[in-house]
Amino acid sequence: MTTNENPKTHFGYRQVPLEEKSHLVAQVFQSVAPKYDLMNDLMSLGLHRLWKRFTIEQANVKPGNVVLDVASGTGDLAMAFARQVGKQGKVILSDINAAMLNRGRERLEDVGIVSNVDYVQANAECLPFADNEMDCITMAFGLRNVTDKQAALSSLYRILKPGGKLLVLEFSHPENAVLNQLYEWYSFHLIPKLGELVANDRDSYQYLVESIRMHPDQETLKTMMQTAGFEDVEYFNLSGGVVALHKAYKY
């Protein structure tokens, strides 16, 4: 991000005006929403289901909890949490993109989850919730698309209850050099091609793989979370660091 009179930020590998990024990201997810779940299975070879299952286990939400799933997308995490918090609890699905949020609503309604869930279209940088409201907050594969990640982390900290837990699941940086080279080749040669063939949208998936490479590495994100006020920050490398789950608390 630059600090001149016309600030810019990255959109994948491109530099774009700061105020345009959220609109460009919205266009990407508007386009990919109809085939989002299918593409997730294809791109990750089904591993995204295991990564999310691990996140759900680490969240360890209880009956009666209030859980916020930011960048909820098509609602994979929220669906599990809604069953765990029960009738006395609540799960809020939040996403900046209406198409993704509507897709999540459809999926939850299809399996009969309607009474203990709410849907809020919102920007993660300025979430419209009260201070100290949430018992647990999750954000899966959404932080890298946020324009000001530090502002988003501060927003998440503000609305989390003391004693509450934040979990951020995101693509990250492989630990092994050989794995990193293989992952880079796969990402840039096969994923955009899959996007073209399956979703008829090569450009959006080109952006998605570039956004992964531009995302902070594991230690940098840990430091950013600590800067926002979180404590006991730790991360788990999954699939050799292709994905990392960061877990932190507010005291």
Neighbours of 203 (CB within 10 A): 14
- 33, 103, 122 from 37: Cα distances, Å: 8, 10, 21
Distance of CA 186 to the CA centre of its chain: 21
Q: For residue 5, name the pLDDT band (cuts at 50, 70, 90).
A: low
- pLDDT value at 4 more than 80: no
pLDDT at 193: 92
Q: For residue 2, name the pLDDT band (cuts at 50, 70, 90).
A: very low
Asked, for residue 13, whether it belongs to a domain, the answer is no
Asked, for residue 17, whether it belongs to a domain, the answer is no
pLDDT at 30: 80
Annotate 81-94 with b (16+ C-beta within 10 A) or e (fewer): bbebbeeebbbbbb
Phi, psi for residue 173 in degrees, rounded to 5: -120, 115
Asked, for residue 9, whether it belongs to a domain, the answer is no
| Mean pLDDT score of the chain | 93
pLDDT digits (tens, 9 = 90+) for 222-244: 999 999 999 999 999 999 999 99
CATH number at residue 224: 3.40.50.150
pTM of the model: 0.90
Residue with tokens 């006020």: 229
- pLDDT value at 189 more than 80: yes
pLDDT at 31: 81
Asked, for residue 4, whether it belongs to a domain, the answer is no
> 3-class secondary structure for 1-67?
CCCCCCCEEEECCEEEEHHHHHHHHHHHHHHHHHHHHHHHHHHHCCHHHHHHHHHHHHHCCCCCCEE
User: Residue 219: CB partners within 8 Å, gap ≥ 6?
Assistant: none
Asked, for residue 32, whether it belongs to a domain, the answer is yes
DSSP 157-173: HHHEEEEEEEEEEEE--
Q: What integer is the mean pLDDT of 240-250?
A: 98
Print the domain residue range for 53: 22-249
Residue 239 in contact with residue 51, Cβ under 8 Å? yes
pLDDT digits (tens, 9 = 90+) for 33-84: 888 888 888 999 899 999 999 999 999 999 999 999 999 999 999 999 999 9
Number of domains comprising the chain: 1
Asked, for residue 158, whether it belongs to a domain, the answer is yes
Distance, in Å, from the CA atom of 34 to the CA atom of 50, rounded to the nearest integer, reads 22
243-249 vs 14-17, strand pairing mode: unpaired
